[in-house]
A and B are shown apart, each in its own frame.
Chain A
Amino acid sequence: AQKITQTQPGMFVQEKEAVTLDCTYDTSDQSYGLFWYKQPSSGEMIFLIYQGSYDEQNATEGRYSLNFQKARKSANLVISASQLGDSAMYFCAMGPTGNQFYFGTGTSLTVIP
């Protein structure tokens, strides 16, 4: 069963605008973490932001914020003031379930000058 769903294969955003990347997840665990990673064309996976299932406030890290809606099982990433360097693949991940972490299929973000 798919644990992480990212329904947007590709997204475009104008430079300096905000963009929301969607992520929904499926788990019966009470304690879990939600993570977002960025993978530029060069291939490295870069950790962006984390949200714990028990955290009441949405996580923020600089221009990144996580819109966590636990009842809807969604953990959307919001990037504010987009920059050309934000063009990359973005992956949502959840875990651990047992000892495993699950990644979505990713969203390709293109920032247009």
Chain B
Amino acid sequence: DTGVSQDPRHKITKRGQNVTFRCDPISEHNRLYWYRQTLGQGPEFLTYFQNEAQLEKSRLLSDRFSAERPKGSFSTLEIQRTEQGDSAMYLCASSSSGTRVNQPQHFGDGTRLSIL
């Protein structure tokens, strides 16, 4: 049983560059979440997919951010024209179907983004 996989683990880039992260959820999970976590804070919700449909986006998700989940399997999160404030850990989580209220999310190890 493989868990949630995220790639890359670390990304260092210059301000203004575009970056893309990938998340492979647990195979039978149809729900997928992206979070951002900065130092000393808890994860902040960014967006939610159920299968391939993006059902919710946080106000934190500016127009420089876009997420996709083609075919309802893996997901990508792209940040265009990166800014210093984008430096954070980006976490992906997935959960199974069933009553949403009682399904715990399983997290990947995250992608740590550093903007130079």
Contacts and interface: CB of A to CB of B under 8 A. Distances in A.
Interface string B38-63: 00111111001010000110100000
Contacts of A43: 89, 109-110
B101 A91 contact: no
A100 B45 contact: yes
A108 B64 CA distance: 33
B56 A98 contact: yes
Given A47-B104, A52-B102, A103 B58 contact: no
A99 B55 contact: yes
Contacts of B110: 43-44
Given A52-B102, A100-B56, A105 B41 contact: yes
B74 interface: no
B26 interface: no
B113 to A, nearest CB: 13
Contacts of A103: 35, 42-44
Interface string A84-103: 00000001010110111111
